[in-house]
Chains A and B, each alone.
Chain A
Amino acid sequence: MEEEKREKGVILLDFWVSPFSQRLKIAMDEKNVEFECIEEDIPNNKSQLLLKSNPVYKKIPVLIHDGKPICESMVILRYIDEVWPHQAPLLPSDPYSRAIASFWADFIDKKVYDLGTKIWMRSGEVQETAKQELLAVMKTLEGELGEKEFFGGDVFGFVDITLVPFYAWFHAYEIFAKFSFEEECPKIVAWAKRCMQRDSVCKALPEPKKVYEYLLDLKATYNLY
């Protein structure tokens, strides 16, 4: 079998609204890594490149580095940190702090998106329960943040990057489930605003209004009211 010529450089298979993709854009921007973004047509028209690069899940984001694909945003985030370690290290250097950061990033990854999805997709009791659970998650995260500037302390890092893309979804969640993040978890909102002062973050996150419109479109498409 002929060995394919590997394209050099960094490519990100992306979808504009994906918070998972945005984690990686933020990380690479922080590290001044040049990359090419290829927007995928999700969900109906996934490219051959995507299907070949992520045969297991067929999902974005996929990072393709010198032709070799890496999948799953948290795996990719660790990879980025290991390949470009010198600028803006995302994880702390001591093993215990790294384990704690990994724990909280994993907690965010397990909880936030699925609960958020129930908030915009569902209604009635299911939506209400999801809202309460999401607020409980945010309150737990507020406890972990404490009085620190960022989850990593003084330095913007791994946990901040994992969570901050969901800030662009707050507006939509608030409208669909009728509540206010500012009232319920003001420290998280204050933290998010601090993150948004960073170029890497405000460039990566979509406008909250556009996220809301995207979800309204999806609800109409799937007849969810």
Chain B
Amino acid sequence: MAREKGVVLLDFWVSPFGQRVRIALAEKGVDYEYKEQDLINKSEHLLKSNPVYKKIPVLLRDGKPISESLIIVQYIDEVWSNKAPLLPAEPLARANARFWADFIDKKVYECGTRLWKLVGEEQEAAKKEFIEIFKLLQGELGDRKFFGGETFGFLDLALVPFVAWFYAYETFAKFSMDEECPKIVAWAKRCMERESVSKTLSDPNKVYEFVLFLKKKFGVEY
């Protein structure tokens, strides 16, 4: 089979997981072809490239696919190692970054989804949990400029795409991230000063409209 040369990203515009990969590629100055996927009618290309999960993002390099956003980001970091290192060099710092990225992966999206999918008491519980998750992350950030310290890195890019969803979450679950976790909001603004981030993250209003569309689709009151 003739393999398509170069870097191709199968992705969906609003996906925070896809955006992690886009930010990593931008930080490293890697040229790639972006292919927007229809998640309702999944393409043969997507199904063949990620037969296990059938999900985006998938990165293909010379036709060889890699799936799972944090695995893709680490691959990118290893292949284009000469520029903008994403993971720190030292094993303990790397372990710490991986631990918190895994924590984000386990908690943020799932809890965020409950914020718009549920109502009443269940939504209240999800909101409390969401704020707790970000307070823990705020604790980890401390007074540093980025999670990686002085430089923007792996953990920052693992988390920052979810910032575009704050407005939707705040509106549906009635709370304010600025009040609850001001350091996270300040960190997010610093991240947005980077072109790789500001050019990648979705407009919060568009995310809100997308979540509204999902609520209608799932018959959740709005």
Which chain A residues have a beta carbon within 8 Å of chain B's beta carbons?
56, 65, 68, 70-72, 74-76, 78-79, 82-83, 95-96, 98-100, 102-103, 106-107, 140
Which chain B residues have a beta carbon within 8 Å of chain A's beta carbons?
52, 61, 64, 66-68, 71-72, 74-75, 78-79, 91-92, 94-96, 98-99, 102-103, 136
Contact for B92 among A70, A95, A98, A102, CB less than 8 A? A70
Task: Name which of B61, B64, B67, B99 has the most chain A CB atoms within 10 A of its CB.
Answer: B99
Which residues of chain B are within 8 angstroms of A96 by Cβ–Cβ distance? 61, 64, 66, 75
Which residues of chain A are within 8 angstroms of B99 by Cβ–Cβ distance? 70-72, 75
* Additional 10 contacts, C-beta under 8 A, given A70-B96, A79-B91: A56-B103, A78-B94, A78-B95, A79-B95, A83-B91, A96-B61, A96-B75, A99-B71, A103-B66, A107-B52
Interface of A (DSSP majority class): helix
CB distance from A159 to the nearest CB of B (A): 13
Which residues of chain A are within 8 angstroms of B94 by Cβ–Cβ distance? 78-79, 82
Known: A103-B66, A103-B67, A103-B68. A98 touches B98 (CB 8 A): no
- Contact of A106 with B95 in the complex, beta carbons under 8 Å: no
CB distance from A135 to the nearest CB of B (A): 15
Interface of B (DSSP majority class): helix
CB distance from B52 to the nearest CB of A (A): 6
Which residues of chain A are within 8 angstroms of B74 by Cβ–Cβ distance? 98-99, 102
Known: A98-B78, A99-B71. A72 touches B52 (CB 8 A): no
CB distance from B20 to the nearest CB of A (A): 15
- Contact of B75 with A82 in the complex, beta carbons under 8 Å: no
CB distance from A106 to the nearest CB of B (A): 6
Q: Report the bound CA distance from A122 to B8 in whole Å.
A: 43
Which residues of chain A are within 8 angstroms of B92 by Cβ–Cβ distance? 65, 68, 70, 79
- Contact of A99 with B95 in the complex, beta carbons under 8 Å: no
Q: Report the bound CA distance from A23 to B136 in whole Å.
A: 28
